Amino acid sequence: MFDKDKYLEYLGFSGTPDASLATLRKIHREHQMRIPYDSGYALDLNSSGDALGLAQASFDLDPAFETIVLSGRGGICVELNFMFHRLLVELGFDVQVLAAATLLPGGVWGPDIEHMVMRVTIDGEDWLADAGHAGISIVEPLPFSGETVVQDGIEFRLTRREKHYFLEYKTRGKDWRDSYRFLPETRTTADWARWRDALPLEEMVAHPRRRRRVVDNGQVTLTSNLFLSVEDGEERLRLIRDENELEKIVSTYWS
């Protein structure tokens, strides 16, 4: 059963939570440290493409909460951010769901309704929240104001280009890069009911398993056997060919 107190306990939050920026920062970081992104099971979804049953009135939040959060299995962006959104609502935050498109291989943007993010308004200021991205992403909420913010050595900023907002990031010694783009239009979770149908066919046919977790002073991702670690803003990318080494990496970060 969904329980915000159990949720906060799992996130290691102590004290009395309130709808403040300090609370949001704390639980946003801890969520990504304790509940990983992992697309493994989602690759086996049936042809409906409805990852969570979000279009169905009968969607049962309780078993999903037990599986995704309390078991530590994690999930994909829609699941992780859907759960995080529910927690924020329960805590009294002013939060809206937004739809984002990620940058696919070859520099092609995915469909507008692909990734899920949130806009949280605190004391009249808007903040981007995202607890479920598969690539390099924000560890704490990011202001919509456009200022550059450094998180664990990585620079992040939101820029506006015509109708879209773009999340950009910059690691040590590299240029600014786009992570994803989104429109400010408020969505409902049901908009993701057939999220897979809009993806390019080649993206679905050759979709590798992707994992991500925030760690002390950085974050790590694993796409098939391509391991990326970012520590204090410095990227290190390695192709893992040895199965024993790969198993060790998985057990270290995603066990």
Among 38, 50, 130, 133, the active-site one is 130
Among 50, 77, 85, 133, the active-site one is 77
* CA angle (161, 164, 165) in 5-degree steps: 85
CB 54 within 8 A of CB 193: yes
- Where helices occur in the chain by DSSP H, the ranges are 4-10, 21-34, 61-65, 77-90, 201-205, 243-254
Residue 45's contacts (CB-CB under 8 Å, 6 or more residues apart) are 51, 196
3 as an active site residue: the answer is: no
Q: DSSP 3-state assignment of 205? A: helix
130 as an active site residue: the answer is: yes
Among 115, 133, 152, 178, the active-site one is 115
Residue 26's contacts (CB-CB under 8 Å, 6 or more residues apart) are 13
From residue 116, alpha-carbon distances to 71, 168, 223 in Å are 22, 16, 20
**Nearest Cα to Cα of residue 125 among 158, 151, 171, 154:** 158
Distance CA 97, CA 147 (A): 22
Give the CA count within 13 Å in the CB-facing half-sphere of 20.
6
- In DSSP terms, which residues pair with 38 in a beta bridge? 211
164 as an active site residue: the answer is: no
Give the residue numbers annotated as catalytic, written as ranges. 77, 115, 130
